[in-house]
Structure 1
Amino acid sequence: MLPDNHHKYPWALPRVLPAILMAHEDLHAKHRLLLGRFINVLNYSTEDPAVGSCAESRAQVVAVDAKLYIRPDAFFGPGCVYPLASVGRFASHWKLPLITAGGPAYGFDKQEEYRTIVRSGPSTTKLGDFANVLHTHFNWTSRAMVIFHDLRHDDRPHYFLSEGIYLNLKEEMNITVEAQPYEDDVKYYKDLISFMKERGRIIYICGPLETFLNIMKLFQSEIQDPENYAIFYLDVFAESLANGRPWQNSDPDWADPIAVFKSVFVITYRSPDNPEYRDFQKKLHARAQRDFGVHLEPSLMDYIAGSFYDGFVLYAMALEETLADGGAQNDGINITMRTQNRRLWGVTGLVTTDHRNARDIDVNLWAMTNQETGEYGLVAYYNGTTKEIIWSQTEKIHWPSGGPPLDNPPCVFYPDDPACKDGHLPVLGIVAVGSGLALIIFGISSFLIYRKLKLEKELAGMLWRIRWEDLQFESPNKYHKRAGSRLTLSQRGSSYGSLITAHGKYQLFAKTGYFKGNLVAIKHVNKKRIELTRQVLLELKHMRDVQFNHLTRFIGACIDPPNICIITEYCPRGSLQDILENESINLDWMFRYSLINDIVKGMNYLHNSYFGCHGNLKSSNCVVDSRFVLKITDYGLASFRSSTENDDSHALYAKKLWTAPELLIYDRHPPQGTQKGDVYSFGIILQEIALRNGPFYVEGMDLSPKEIVQKVRNGQKPYFRPTTDNRCHSEELTILMEGCWAEDPAERPDFGHIKIYMAKLNKEGSTSILNNLLSRMEQYANNLENLVEERTQAYLEEKRKAENLLYQILPHSVAEQLKRGETVQAEAFDSVTIYFSDIVGFTSMSAESTPLQVVTLLNDLYTCFDAIIDNFDVYKVETIGDAYMVVSGLPVRNGKLHAREIAGMSLALLEQVKTFKIRHRPNDQLRLRIGIHTGPVCAGVVGLKMPRYCLFGDTVNTASRMESNGEALKIHVSSATKEVLDEFGYFDLQLRGDVEMKGKGKMRTYWLLGEKTDVYVI
């Protein structure tokens, strides 16, 4: 039952009917619901064709006719409030379920009147819940004002949208709330401004965008202190943010819009960001165009259509359960009871309903985040499931007065209060009080200024910063670097620490290096640059200040592109996940309890620190040092975190096995996480420690990480959780686990209580882990083992140095042959790609420079080049003067990938050389000329003293000709290379034409311009 023509309604037929039909079609194939049953969907209009709006009388007639002649089992819609009120009463009387994503009015919360209504979309009550949390956060507990547009005809959308905020603040928070309607007549707007002056400072305005902007224009001219106001514009479908600045939707005659809109916030629904919703939107728009000839632009109104889809699925789930229990298909009371307090994962993300069958909704809060351009940004969002506001780590509110305004400033609303009248104090009393206050203020101010200056000095000093050249690295074995062999803890070298692989099973090895002679762990960050905002500097400063035995020590960070990384204390025993998965390590329960206690201590400290929570707690982020002390790592620095996995990748879901269900709502949950989410993660780690069967082990089920995450996210009872086994661990530990992974975050204990509980659970393990393991370590360590290890390390160090020298002279595979005592035979390769480059004008530059300057230039340049080519499957053949020769496809063949590797390397080198600075000629641009050719070659080792790996064949000559006939700062490519690159489909090449080549005649050549940005490569 929907309006069929008027598209202004979010629940208009062309928007909603395609969604319902899509849900109907997906029931069997996708959701596996009501198999073997047929559902007939019929549509009736509730629109008055004479005026083109919702009509209560028409809805009543349609409902009664449908009941008499069709005998429906359920109603979907109406969406408009007045028609829904009438049909809702009929449906409750007939005991038929009515599902709608419209009807946001507060009155539908009355269960005794609307017993069978299920609201799968937003409601004004839930907006009121957001307002309650917002006022609590800013300590606005006295007064507020609600202004709404109301013409008292049609469906009065702004009245019903604002009533939840009005009633919730008034009834639940006991706040004095003033309400004032307004109409389209501009002459009444001045009375509104006077009303705002006299009655409130925290103001909610709900009305058409044009009327809101007219009010704000008058507000700008009449209000002298806009910084003392906070105005929230209720624009749930974000129409005012289409241009990023609300005032740009009106005539450009504002005096200074940025000044007045600094105090204006915009409240919108939160658009789902899950892959299912994006796919649903595309299908919805295509179907609306196909079936109704209506072109729909992407907007938040699609959220309403998606909510109708989810409402249909929710109804089908409840109906199937009712039928399974022997109920009737039209038993609305039974069906709607089963939709209460429900959780499911739909196209709009997580759908949760309360005991009144109203859906919990998420809300976005927007504010002016760029005070120069006036651009609005998302500063916070409200999670309706957890009833928490999550504040952005990057976008901040810039209050005009430095902080939120007072909702009840003194002597403004109650000027007759005796406390506001002038008193009479003796002159000496006034002087004494004033002097005392002045001294106190001076003392406090001096202290605060000192602290401020000290903080600013620390921030400006950036003591945390480490330059990339300050780090020293060993040369790791390339096989391990590329393939990642699975080694035990006893086999692990010092070049790698532990990480989870894409399959969530095996351990790879994280990079380590030396900083000031100490071995450190290096975590690379996949970001092009880090913007050093004040918030980031503060976080880095606090990271450096952390000194706790169960948190890894933050050494510093490198922000030099492309080597952005975090440097922390290195723990040689590996991660907790490594230890648990290493079956050769026997863990008794004394040891396990010690590890658990270390986690609890670390998390309890973290939760009471500046950081507040971890956000990414898992067993691979718990590392063990040489003294068997467990330390938590990867905390803080939310701005450094990034994810490179695809939305549907195995690795992404494997990392989400520790994530709490309320955080699985979003594709990318807040990086800072929540404290209750950390407790849930701790519960999963407890099960790992207890059973040693990997994260989220479920007995008797072989599920992929994606399947596990989807089951947890769906939230269907009984809630999906890992297996517990009292035969393997104590019943008390089972109770703790189940408490930690409770579905309701409020039911989970905090780490303070967990610490107390663990102390009672493990009374004999109260001493430190070092003392607990002392006797065992004495058995493992003796003088002979120490001597053997010392001699072995000395031998391995010398062997490593010799191998590194050999690897620098010859390719890895050739060096391995020589190490095995084999003769290296010359070999023919059918297809390789060769790169040549030189510097245009190098001869004249050399003549104008000293020999030392030339050496320094080439050393800087080739050091830079060598660092870049390490990222590609290539081999540097040689450098002669300014000439640089690289090949891919030998000595290890790589199919046709050699052309791709050389092309990617060439683009990277060309990009780097554009920013390369010549020390003695900083204003000169280095002009690199590159040539590439693909073809067959022969290669082998030549000579005994200073042996060289050389390439022979016409391909080498042709590649050299490609370079010499090229142009500065361009990549010259032959036809042979172009043919191979075309097979990859994402390189941008431009025909140069036929070029005369010495000894070759005319050759058709191309310029390699870059990679196509609109092509996705899998």
Structure 2
Amino acid sequence: MADSSPATTPLAGGKERAIWVDVKPQNDGRDEEARKAFGQTLVISDHMGTGADTDGYKNFSQLVISRMKEAPFYCTDDCRGEQYSAASVYAGQLHDAFYTYARALNASLQTNPDAYRNGSQLLDNIVMSFQGISGLVEISKNGTRKPLFYLDGLDSAGVQVIYGTVAVDGYKGVYKPLYTNEAQIWWSRAGIRPLAIPRCGFSGTQCPLTFAEQYLVWIIVGSLLILAVITIIIISVCYMIHLKRKEAERLNQMWRIPFLSLESLTKQKSEHSRRSLQSGTGSTSTKITMENVTETRNFVYFMYQNECVAAMKHEVRVPLESQDCLEMRKMRELENDNLNRFLGLCLDGPQLLSIWRYCSRRSLNDVITKGSMSMDNVFVYSLVRDIANGLAFIQHSFLEYHGFLTSKCCLVDDRWQAKVSSYGLRKWRICDKRLPQDLLWTAPEVLRKDDLIGSQEADIYSFAIICAQLITKTSAWDVDNQMEDASGLI
């Protein structure tokens, strides 16, 4: 609490100076810092009897100075100078004190002409309230003035503002705000009222514990548990990935055929390599021995796990990717009565080889063009049905289509059952060299493509050519009896 203006210091002649202005000869240059500090200060004072109406008090002060020159003071020469240009700061309170006495005396004289000598009677009429020079004047029954204090502060522009009043009656004080929005008084704090008790107490040693400080042990235990769970999950995931890779490697080993496991037919003993097959559909028999199996342009033959296998030659070694390994595993799992079994790939030999199960009666093209047996309609229908079943199985599998279907890749086993072979492996087949006679079964729309990759529709076209061969018992397009060779037809 202060008994003067919170923002100014009175000077001679009624003048004022901002309290944060440094008047010392050696100014420290920190007036602006002081002004900002006072902007966060609130002061309760009585305004030294000047009240809230500063302009009214200035008019009263000028009136006092002018009356000093009149009776009974007649102060003229002695009242010259700047120090006599304004009334004393206590002049307003002196005025209100005499005015209070005068009002009480007038009220007393109404009932008793001698009341001016009777203090008790004056006290009976002393209770009053009026707007004086020093502000609101309220006199209690014991003849004392009820104090009125002002809550002052500076606004954001540095101008002194009265935010409220505090009227004291005995031991009771009543605060009356003069603002409509509390944010006005707390502008220096972004409009937010400070706490009644600081967060850490007035001594700064009562700060509440943070969540981490309060539950540190539980946090450590929980963190360790979470870390342990995460570690277990990571280890489990890594282990599952390891198992999955091991399983994939195991499955990949099933279609990876080492070149050393392929044994040349010439090394087999004649008593173990000789094999006779008897045809059972016609009167003509055909005898085929393993000694007659010779290497061709596209195939070479080996013994693998005591069985004869056909190894298709591929021109280019294309790097294997994960999708290729998956395709090999799926191809090895394909099972159908009219599908020749894919056994795997030989990657470590002098040439990339795809290994297929050997069919003793070779290809359907060989049976048609080189065979001496007769084929009735029932037998032809049986072969057509076998090829159709094998092709349908391929088109309903993940392969979707054969792409390179010819009568050369339709093989016939020892029971005269047709099996579709040489399916899949498109990544390598598109790199293989294909002669004109290999393209006689290829659809025209595929021939116009650079990669010669087929489709389901193109497979049906190729199937029709094979059916025509079976019905006519001739080569594709009867090219053997044509004046024009395969290149001309293509």
TM-score normalised to the size of structure 2? 0.44
Larger Rg: 1 or 2? 2
Greater RCO, CA 8 A, separation 6+:
2
